Structure 1
Amino acid sequence: MNTSEYEVQILKELNQTIELIAEDEADNLVDRIARANKIFVAGAGRSGLMIRAFAMRMMQMGIEAYVVGETVTPNMGKDDLLIIGSGSGETKSLVPMAKKANSLGGTVAMITISPESTIGKIADLTVKLPGSPKDQAGSGYETIQPMGALFEQNLLVFCDAVILKLMDNKNLDSKAMYDRHANLE
């Protein structure tokens, strides 16, 4: 296959899987984001990169959003929301974070392939995204892509769709968001 044929196959996989996301789960996450005082996001590896992009878009909307582990991240309180992006829901660094957020009275949301996972059981709400786990064994999704790429792509597309829904709810457009875009670059 040439590069464009791979791209077509990747888009086909995304089209097949993105339609399987439960709208009520997505709406529940949008509602929780809208009601939260502060939003915290966490993830590891490539999933962590996707969830960081989500935090940046929320900040550009004027939502108080932070990436866990950054030096400027404040403390979490009971009216706050932690959103964890993890395909497996078993990432060793994220499990204690979910437990800690829970003990602080915050809400934990999980975006994952595996809502029945350790973090999924801790979470107050989960959004199940279709995708293949890194080992791909028994996932039920055919993919030509390596490891967890299908989940990570679905995570980015899903988070962008959540941003669009939030923008619609707040009557915001890209111009308003661009005014909050970084300008020291």
Structure 2
Amino acid sequence: MSYKRLVETVSAYEPDEDLQWIIGRITNSKRVIVFGTGRSGDVADAFAKFLRNIGVDQTFGPNDVPYIFGPCDLLVAISGSGSTQYTVEVAKVAKEGGSFIISLTSDQASPLAAISDKIILIPGARKWKESDYFVDNLLGTSKTPLTPLGTLFELRSLLFLLSVISYIRGQELIESYRKLVSLIKEFEPPSDYYELLYEILPKASEYAKQKTTVLGEGLSGIVGKFFSTRLRHLSKGNAERLVYFWLDKGSIAVRRDDLVFIISGSASEFFANLAEKAKNKGAKVAVVTSFQDSRLSKVSDLTLTIPGRQIVKLKGLRSSYFPQDPTYSVFELRTLFFLESFIHYVAEKENISETDMKMMHSDFT
């Protein structure tokens, strides 16, 4: 699926609810807890950080959920299927504590929806069971092509929640949503980006030795985590693709012929130093950035230029900051959609079906 078609498919959904109530719920709650696991957790993390950045200070993301919920708390739970075990468990605890629960889900008949006070339906997901794999085999449909359904819910949820940020800041929800979509559409990656990245990417195998380590900070880091998960799923049979996100694995030793994949719109000096270190150990380095003439680009084996990152220079401001205006995150959004279209490119090239990828999903969330 091409970048353009992916954007069109995702943007076929538009929020149509009157969500004035959500502003009061967020701003009047003692604490706002945003939770999800996997890619929904990445979306939750982004929303929580944007909320904190616009002044909702008592906001907690999926990695710092409070132990005790109270009646003045708000839980925003994100699960496409509405049956993700860990998310449902957190929602049950919040319910017992008297918290108000808003769920983003594709299934209004799901366990999560059943215990929620408000449901925001976002189409695009259903829970897949391992038994589906055997049914598909019996029906001869296990090799159906990859569709965007694996990420449709998460991509739509992210755009929706970023529009909610703009809505809280006084802008129109639908117009904000359309603006984000328009900015993403204004860019289309050159066709050779896909083959260039594929050539440098370590391949899946039964005894994989070369690994891919994905680096990024701030929203770029969240995009990197999202991509890491999708890339890790991209194999079939007994083959495995070794993929790590640099902050999740603990100590990662880079080896010869590994790939270090860096997402840094600003092409920060910090990542340039890490790239040089990786190169000195014989690893290959690919970078996605808005600045192709940067030092980071010059030390890398492959630079994929995606415009949109604006440099903000303030004393004490880290390069991984989250802007208050979501439209300033257009680099990260374009990168997210490009990398998802790259997943489709690799799946088609290696004849990997959606069922193959689902067999690689976590057994513990």
Aligned residues: 175
Give 2:174's aligned amino acid: S
Q: CA deviation at 1:26?
A: 3.0
Change (3 A) 1:167 1:30: same
Aligned to 1:75: 253
Q: CA deviation at 1:90?
A: 1.4
1:67–1:73 Cα contact (<8 Å) kept: no
RMSD: 2.2
**TM-score under structure 2 normalisation?**
0.45
Give 1:15's aligned amino acid: K
Give 1:176's aligned amino acid: D
CA distance in 2 between counterparts of 1:34 and 1:102 reads: 16
Matched, 1:12 2:182: yes
CA distance in 2 between counterparts of 1:147 and 1:16 reads: 13
Map 1:1-185; keep pairs closer than 5 Å.
1-17=171-187, 19=188, 21-35=189-203, 37-62=210-235, 63-71=241-249, 74-92=252-270, 94-135=271-312, 145-146=325-326, 148-185=328-365
The structure number with the bigger radius of gyration is: 2
1:155-177 Cα distance to aligned partner (Å, 9 max, x none): 11011011111111111121111
SS where residue 214 of structure 2 aligns? strand
Give 1:112's aligned amino acid: T
Give 1:103's aligned amino acid: N
CA distance in 2 between counterparts of 1:120 and 1:148 reads: 22
SS where residue 286 of structure 2 aligns? strand
CA distance in 1 between counterparts of 2:251 and 2:212 reads: 10
Change (3 A) 1:110 1:148: farther
Identity of aligned residues (%): 25
CA distance in 1 between counterparts of 2:250 and 2:358 reads: 22
CA distance in 1 between counterparts of 2:252 and 2:360 reads: 20
Structure 1 gap ranges (5+): 137-144
Change (3 A) 1:155 1:91: farther
Change (3 A) 1:149 1:125: same
1:55–1:65 Cα contact (<8 Å) kept: yes
1:119-141 Cα distance to aligned partner (Å, 9 max, x none): 111101110112132449xxxxx
Change (3 A) 1:169 1:42: same
Change (3 A) 1:134 1:22: same
1:9-45 Cα distance to aligned partner (Å, 9 max, x none): 111111112x2x2222332012211559211110111
Q: CA deviation at 1:148?
A: 4.1
SS where residue 307 of structure 2 aligns? coil
1:41–1:68 Cα contact (<8 Å) kept: yes
